């Protein structure tokens, strides 16, 4: 049986009876959590169980736990980390190992609550003009370093039993607008985009999942990548990514049109699954109906990704933290 071609969220700390019934019928591929869904450890574990019970399977549960500004879990449930760019710069020549350890710790924290997918690494390459909503979430200022640190993030998460989602493919770094509120348009040449922005994603094209960018790349198309068949073909063929491709949240203001139309456009363009966040139950129902079930190719990619979910390794957290502190020459990263 195919999964529903959606990833959806919940309104609160528990599922309502209507949400349970809807999720049972729609059978979304997975779920995503926000701060409004998180209170105590016991409540969060119970909510993850409720979500999986609603669909009758071990559905993936996602979260944005980059650290810094984008971090849904906060103390006392999880450590508070410095923004990734600040963290990586402070680690200097030890940044690869430090990032690996940071995201290993993050993964172990997530798995404690039943969360098994993190929306990271983010391998967008920033520029001086990059919008501030993105800048300190990045890992460096050149594609080689960004790719190396992105690999470390993904491997740290994997070692802790959490799947990674590389984002925002094929690259959000040249955007001078915040796609939560406006549609960024990038005027760079195809050559510049290929050599810089697309390059880290090509290095990491073997990762199991990726999230699209709501960005127009004028050298290729006048549609945002999420809705562009040309850009999805580029992601598949030129970047070489053959994992599960999900949209960024289609409720973001970068996209215009009804949720049903945006759902159909993104799937028709070649995305595998549609992410909808912060919507009403009626809107979630609209998107689930428009999305239907995954295509055969998407289902294969989804099952391949889920097969990589490992149980977290036995890790001495105190030893990992001490090693991380040593890498920073005694400075605290949190």
DSSP-assigned letter for residue 212: E
244-275 confidence digits (pLDDT tens): 999 999 999 889 999 999 999 999 999 999 99
Cα 32 to Cα 2, 4, 8, distances in angstroms: 19, 14, 6
Catalytic residue among 80, 180, 222, 329: 180
Residue with tokens 């939560």: 180
Give yes or no for a contact between 326 and 110, defined as CB atoms under 8 angstroms apart.
no
Asked whether the predicted pLDDT for residue 332 surpasses 60, the reply is no
Nearest to residue 94, comparing CAs of 319, 329, 334?
Answer: 329
**Residues in CB range of 273: below 8 A, 6 or more apart:** 5, 6, 7, 29, 30, 244, 245, 246, 247, 291, 294, 298, 302
Cα 128 to Cα 121, 167, 177, 310, distances in angstroms: 21, 20, 13, 39
Catalytic residue among 124, 248, 249, 272: 248
Q: Provide the pLDDT confidence category of residue 132 given band limits of 50, 70 and 90.
A: confident
220-238 confidence digits (pLDDT tens): 999 999 999 999 999 999 9
In whole angstroms, give the CA distance from residue 263 to residue 13: 27
Quote the distance between the C-alpha of residue 292 and its chain's center. Answer: 22
How crowded is the C-beta side of 105, counted as CA atoms within 13 Å? 24
Give pLDDT, residue 176. 80
Q: Provide the pLDDT confidence category of residue 128 given band limits of 50, 70 and 90.
A: confident
Among 10-19, 70-79, 305-314, the least confident range: 305-314
21-77 confidence digits (pLDDT tens): 999 999 999 999 999 999 999 999 999 999 999 999 999 999 999 999 999 999 999
CATH topology of domain 4-327: TIM Barrel (3.20.20)
Q: Provide the pLDDT confidence category of residue 18 given band limits of 50, 70 and 90.
A: very high
What is the radius of gyration, based on Cα positions, of the chain?
19
Q: Is 27 a catalytic residue?
A: no
Asked whether the predicted pLDDT for residue 126 surpasses 80, the reply is yes
Asked whether the predicted pLDDT for residue 12 surpasses 90, the reply is yes
Asked whether the predicted pLDDT for residue 3 surpasses 90, the reply is yes
Q: For the chain, what is the mean pLDDT?
A: 94
Asked whether the predicted pLDDT for residue 99 surpasses 80, the reply is yes
- Calculate what percentage of the chain has a pLDDT beyond 70: 97
167-200 confidence digits (pLDDT tens): 999 999 998 877 788 899 999 999 999 999 999 9
Q: Which of 45-54, 123-132, 181-190, 313-322 has the highest mean pLDDT?
A: 45-54
Cα 5 to Cα 81, 86, 282, 293, 298, distances in angstroms: 33, 36, 17, 5, 8
Measured at the CA of 76, the angle between CA 134 and CA 180, to 5 degrees, comes to 25
Q: Is 214 a catalytic residue?
A: no
In whole angstroms, give the CA distance from residue 125 to residue 292: 35
Q: Provide the pLDDT confidence category of residue 329 given band limits of 50, 70 and 90.
A: low
Bridge partners of 122, per DSSP, are 167
pLDDT greater at residue 122 or residue 128: 122
Nearest to residue 273, comparing CAs of 246, 313, 291?
Answer: 246
């Amino acid at each position: 049986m195919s999964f529903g071609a959606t990833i959806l969220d919940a309104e609160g700390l528990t599922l309502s009876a209507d949400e349970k019934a809807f999720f049972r019928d729609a059978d979304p591929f997975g779920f995503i959590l926000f701060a409004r869904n998180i209170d105590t450890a016991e409540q969060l574990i119970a909510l993850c169980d409720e979500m999986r019970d609603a669909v009758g399977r071990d559905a993936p549960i996602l979260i944005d736990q980059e650290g810094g500004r984008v971090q849904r879990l906060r103390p006392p449930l999880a450590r508070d980390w410095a923004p990734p760019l600040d963290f990586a710069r402070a680690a200097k020549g030890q940044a690869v190992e430090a990032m690996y350890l940071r995201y290993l710790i993050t993964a172990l924290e997530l798995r404690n609550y039943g969360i098994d997918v993190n929306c990271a690494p983010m391998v967008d390459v920033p520029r001086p003009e990059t919008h501030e909503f993105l800048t300190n979430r990045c890992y460096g200022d050149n594609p080689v370093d960004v790719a190396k640190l992105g690999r470390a993030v993904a491997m740290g998460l994997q070692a802790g039993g959490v799947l990674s989602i590389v984002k925002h493919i094929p690259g959000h770094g040249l955007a001078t607008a915040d796609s939560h509120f406006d549609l960024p348009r990038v005027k760079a040449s195809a050559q510049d985009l290929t050599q810089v922005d697309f390059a880290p994603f090509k290095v990491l094209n073997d990762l199991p999942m990726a999230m699209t960018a709501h960005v127009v790349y004028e050298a290729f198309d006048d549609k945002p990548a999420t809705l562009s068949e040309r850009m999805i073909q580029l992601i598949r063929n030129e970047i070489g990514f053959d994992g599960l491709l999900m949209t960024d949240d289609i409720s973001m203001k970068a996209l215009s049109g009804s949720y049903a139309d945006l759902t159909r456009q993104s799937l028709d363009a070649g995305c595998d699954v549609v992410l909808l966040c912060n919507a009403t139950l009626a809107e979630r129902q609209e998107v689930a109906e428009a999305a239907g079930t995954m295509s055969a190719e998407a289902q294969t990619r989804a099952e391949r990704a889920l097969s990589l979910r490992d149980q977290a390794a036995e890790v001495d957290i105190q030893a990992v933290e001490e090693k991380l502190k040593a890498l920073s020459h005694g400075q605290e990263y949190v």
